């Protein structure tokens, strides 16, 4: 649900696009959401913590640990998969489709931990055995420094919708595009040529 909001609301996409711009999936990628914590803590974590009063024991810590490990597995670059369990628990091949640059994969596999929600809402794509698409956002470079990761969402960027699909937000860094206009690439044209 959070991914769906981040991709479809332009303001939130500014933050989530930093994560999607990475062109190589690995376990560390699941940690590249730190600018999104600006919203997750006050609007998700704190309200949820208010729902659970008293001493919940170790259960929340165990759930958080398992979910963090799952996130690292989903972003890993290994071609290991969960076999038939992938229909219950999302694996790395499943989540890679969500990060794919191929248009046929846009708006697919939003679910975290399980594909259940994607199955219910019709956004599921179970990858074929050899399906291993390239990932990233062709129109922007991935961040190279910590400063890039932290400040890119706040930089002077123009966001325009170029299609009704995932990766629809064409991100143009005005400073970079002034220097190098070829950095602005139409996503649909890029996928047609690949």
Reduced to 3 states (helix: H, G, I; strand: E, B; else coil), residue 171 is: strand
Mean pLDDT of 1-16: 72
How confident is the model at residue 1, as a pLDDT?
A: 52
Which residue range forms the structural domain that includes residue 60? 2-193
Q: Environment class of residue 171 by beta-carbon count within 10 Å: exposed (0-12), middle (13-18) or buried (19+)?
A: buried
**DSSP state, residue 44:** I
- 173 or 58, greater pLDDT: 58
pLDDT at 52 over 70: yes
Q: What is the mean pLDDT of the chain?
A: 78
Condensed to tens digits (0 to 9), the pLDDT of residues 135-169 reads 999 888 888 898 988 888 888 665 443 333 344 44
Condensed to tens digits (0 to 9), the pLDDT of residues 96-138 reads 999 999 999 999 999 889 999 999 999 999 999 899 999 999 8
- Give the chain's domain count: 1
pLDDT at 186 over 80: no
- The separation between the first and the last C-alpha atoms of the chain, rounded to the nearest angstrom, is 30
Mean pLDDT of 56-80: 88
CA angle, residues 76, 80, 83, in degrees to nearest 5: 125
pLDDT at 46 over 50: yes
């Amino acid at each position: 649900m959070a991914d769906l909001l981040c991709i479809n609301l332009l303001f939130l996409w500014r933050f989530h696009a930093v994560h999607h711009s990475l062109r190589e999936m690995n376990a560390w990628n699941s940690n590249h959401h730190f600018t999104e914590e600006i919203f997750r803590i006050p609007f998700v974590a704190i309200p949820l913590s208010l729902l659970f009063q008293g001493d919940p024991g170790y259960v929340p810590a165990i759930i958080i640990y398992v979910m963090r490990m799952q996130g690292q597995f989903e972003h890993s670059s290994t071609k290991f998969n969960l076999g038939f369990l992938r229909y219950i628990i999302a694996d790395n091949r499943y989540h890679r489709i969500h990060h794919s640059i191929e248009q046929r994969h846009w708006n697919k596999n939003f679910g975290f931990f399980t594909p259940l929600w994607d199955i219910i809402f019709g956004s599921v794509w179970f990858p074929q055995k050899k399906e291993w698409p390239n990932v990233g956002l062709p129109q922007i470079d991935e961040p190279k420094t910590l400063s890039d990761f932290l400040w890119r969402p706040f930089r002077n960027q123009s966001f325009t919708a170029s299609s009704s699909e995932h990766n629809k937000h064409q991100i143009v860094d005005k400073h970079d595009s002034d220097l190098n206009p070829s950095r602005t690439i139409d996503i649909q044209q890029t996928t047609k040529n690949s």
